[in-house]
Structure 1
């Protein structure tokens, strides 16, 4: 006996049941063992024990053991070969597990072909979804679509998971418009998307700054009865702010609150930045005030937007005031100092520009970087102070 007596005793009571044909591996204890940290080694012991007991695995137990191999292709094949040797017909679940483990290889496709060729064993929607998901993750969208077409040809109806797998795969590989067209085509065939479908498409169109499509999809999502989560609202608000559509962004903010969500710091900062860029600084201040009332503390990014706005408009007093507010609660970033140095230098106020540059190191303990040094040198040169620029004075 190759397995030590202690291990055999440990597993014999929990991992086998007795029938007229002798002990069989019970799938439930195997699943329990599989969840443990050392599941791989214990599964190997269970498998070896079943062989030493002189009994074949049940179909379910074999499927569980295959799953427990965790991508160990060689051992998975050994187990499949043993099943064949013992005339154990693989179940659909066995093939689902195998395909799930082997989707990175051509073998996943070969397994599907083998499954289809076996009498009384037809792939189901779960099998196809597993294989299509693997193909999409590998970037082989066309092969994934071929499997989708094959589903329809053999009479296996795709479900919303199939839809979401292909939509996500196309979006991840830059085929956003193709994903949308596929979605609309599936809708025309009676397969409606869910919140995951809409969220995937909205996120993809946000990433390519196509705000018109984002708004359209958001409206469709609401009309279809799908409830957006907070992330969808946040992405939409960010996209609208980036596009300068601040009234629309404010409306979506109201809808977000009506839906029971709270804006996060990223959402608030998008609004502050958007209002500042569109010369609506009073609205930006309103957002800062709302943040504080909601218990969301403005951070350096919030204040940087205000400071950049004041600097660009030559209002250095308010820029300095915002800097003081910031220092009371947050350490200014190097971007904050860079904006002030550039603004003062551009307006010929070299004295203040140099004061800010020196404060950066002495007060905030932020070492200048290449960008701030270049801003400083540019400011000095633009004001004909070449000697200071060259000497670092």
Structure 2
């Protein structure tokens, strides 16, 4: 926080921002527009000259569009935040997501990422709508400053801290940014590739962008591993597409990856979920020739599959009024 200094023409009358909550924020009161207010919870420090703007930046009955236009004319972090805080204290105005997101864009363009995060926390605090579009701004801003490692953390932040579920559009956008930035090297290790693919394919209709990621990796000399392909197989199975899962296994073999136990068990589970228990047995017999060793999960899956088939048969007989012989 800058210390207060004397000014030849104006007596300082600091007030605390109504829109932030971590450290005191001081700047001159505009007597005609801002009556004294009790200090709310301060938010974060703002580095600017508190005597820079001594006249109100907008008329008292300003419209949201006028505020947006004024924010867009600002050229630095201090002026953007100062204007936003002044507007937020006006009795006739409450910022909405459009205003907050414009502030985020302006801060992102000058690389003020800590302030962006503070604004995002403020949106959550006041109950302002936060959508995947809000996080697009973070991705674009990080990309503009080549902070691609930060981009990969956006999904975790939006889900874990803000309860915002990424959709197909979000993942396509994320994938495009990574590919266009030629930054797939960020995910060239087995674990990071698998994690990103897992996120991309976690919901069934997001398999396509995950496949595009694998194709792009191959174009750049990167190599997905067995865990990557197994994750995609699981995505197909959850979608109910066993044929797609088996095709993905063929691609895995073509890439020179061996089928480990987890891969075989995923496919066995897929067969059993569709009631194709005999095919599951046949697949296991084939994999035994490739050094597959069935484990407890394998046997449990087969037993469960048998039970499910038997249960479906029993229900079918009962619907037809038939009773199995003892």
Asked which structure has the greater RCO (Cα within 8 Å, sep 6+), the reply is 2
TM-score by length of 2: 0.49
TM-score by length of 1: 0.42
Q: Which has the larger radius of gyration?
A: 1
